[in-house]
Amino acid sequence: YGQYLGYCKMSAVNWDQLGSTAVVAGVMLSYALLKRQGRNSADLQRILNDFETLDGATLKGIVASLQDEMNSGLKKDKELIKEEGLHALKNKARMQDSLAMIPSFVTRYPTGNETGTYIALDLGGSTIRTRRVRLEKGKVAENTAVETDILIPAKIRSQEGQGDELFDFLATRAKAALPAGTDQANVGFTFSFPIAQKSITNGVLLSWTKEIATAGVVGNDVVQLLQQALARVGAPGIQVAAICNDTVGTLVATMYQVPDQAKKVVGGLIVGTGSNMAYWEKSKDIVKLPEAAEYCSQMIINMEWGNFDEREKVLPINGYDEAMNEASERKGYQLFEKMISGQYIGELCRLALIDYLRSTWNWGEVSFDRIYSVSGESASIAAHDDTAELTKIEDLFRSKFQSRTTLDMRKGIKQICYTVFKRAARLLAAGVAAIASKTNMQKDCIIGVVGSVWEKNPCVQKECMAALDDIFEQGHGIRLIITPDGSVIGPALIAALHGDH
């Protein structure tokens, strides 16, 4: 039809002379466009349907399965922790269809009397952060960021890197955070990877996650490795007073954030680069650590929920999840985390978008065909574009991916990215619901949250709360509140609470 119009313009032929021929051509074009539009719509809907699988009944099934794995994880043989090098814990958890459910040895609530200056050292992924935290009578009087998001060299993070290199790097950062005029300080160490603990100052790495693979660390006590590194860099006066997971630190920091409601804080949630949850558990129910009941009524448990449902019994795994898992460095691990965390949401969107643009719009090569070339941030921009012409998506594709898009293309791109985030939010809701109901606090509880997926994506907050309404049809009183820097401040607060423990 385009060639036909061009012919009309170039020739002396007028529309009246062409008459019925033009009408026929117009009808044929309209039919072709309608047929193409229908096919486009079907292709898009097919992709969306792959992520729209979490109705209320499915979510309730996930909640029940998650609680079963939690209970199983709390019952694992305590002797495994004490005598088998601890790295065996995760393998046994996989065989038993259970979560690691790692005791944190954090047992104390804030008293309001905590005083002192502490260094907070946070290893949460590929970057580290250090802060100097001063407490006066239970309140944070100083919270100074010494270094923020210092990137660990890629070689150190890879299998080529050695443990001594990594911990010397960390020790140097901790030394730089010492208060002026002193070479003595206590450190609260956030180590956001699966560890098994025998005390508040002991943590043996079970496995690396988040694409970290440094050699010589798995199976070793990371507190001891850090303490040895501090001596090597000339800072023997710095002592590790507490180690915790970032979720544990977030939970404790949230209690300080809302001191008048501290007893209502039941969990700490991380949903950033990775995802995990910690919560308060009754000591009598920690079967694998029976001695806990002798000296405390409850203890914070680090769930390591990224491993949930690794046998794929209840999670709605689709083809994009399978493709991403197949290409990941840790194939077959952390499937739940791969469906909800910032490290992987961008990749899920990338895979779905490639399918959409090729099947619907006949794109051949795409500029983002390299793995992880679409970040969670880029996917978030697309999901939240509220401009009339979706110009944020247009600018994103032009500047970052050197690609031009039509409005209809952009509408599909937004729908896909939003739906991927929506699925993540509804899965998060299932996890939150499992904690709230297990602690019997669903009518009135608080969960502290840290992480970009939650903090920077209003759609995740909205869809998570909507999913909680679907799960608790009779109503609930669950509140998720952002705890600024919770994973960094938390370990310093724990060091203050447990320095004499």
Maximum Cα interatomic distance, the chain, rounded to a whole number of Å: 100
Q: What is the pLDDT, as a whole number, of residue 100?
A: 87
pLDDT-based confidence at residue 1 (cuts at 50, 70, 90):
very low
What is the percentage of the chain residues whose pLDDT exceeds 70?
Answer: 87
Write the pLDDT tens digit of every residue in 37-73: 555 678 899 999 999 989 999 999 999 999 999 999 9
Give residue-wise pLDDT tens across range 185-215.
899 998 888 888 888 999 899 888 766 889 9
Helices and strands: H and E segment counts in the chain: 20, 13
DSSP β-bridge partners for residue 240:
187
The pLDDT tens digits for 6-37 are: 333 333 444 354 455 544 444 444 444 444 45
Q: Residues 346-373, buried b or exposed e (16+ Cβ, 10 A)?
A: bbbbbbbbbbbbebbeeeeeeebeeebe
- Do 298 and 282 form a contact (C-beta atoms < 8 A)? yes
Q: Phi and psi of 203, rounded to 5°?
A: -160, 110
pLDDT in tens, 324-354: 999 987 788 889 999 999 989 999 999 999 9
Whether the pLDDT of residue 490 is over 90: the answer is no
Q: Give tens-digit pLDDT for 320-329.
A: 999 999 998 7
Could you give the C-alpha distances from 62 to 7, 24, 214, 277, 378, in angstroms and in order?
A: 62, 56, 33, 16, 29
Please give the structure tokens belonging to residue 227: 């303490």
Phi, psi angle pair for 44, to nearest 5°: -65, -45
pLDDT of residue 85: 42
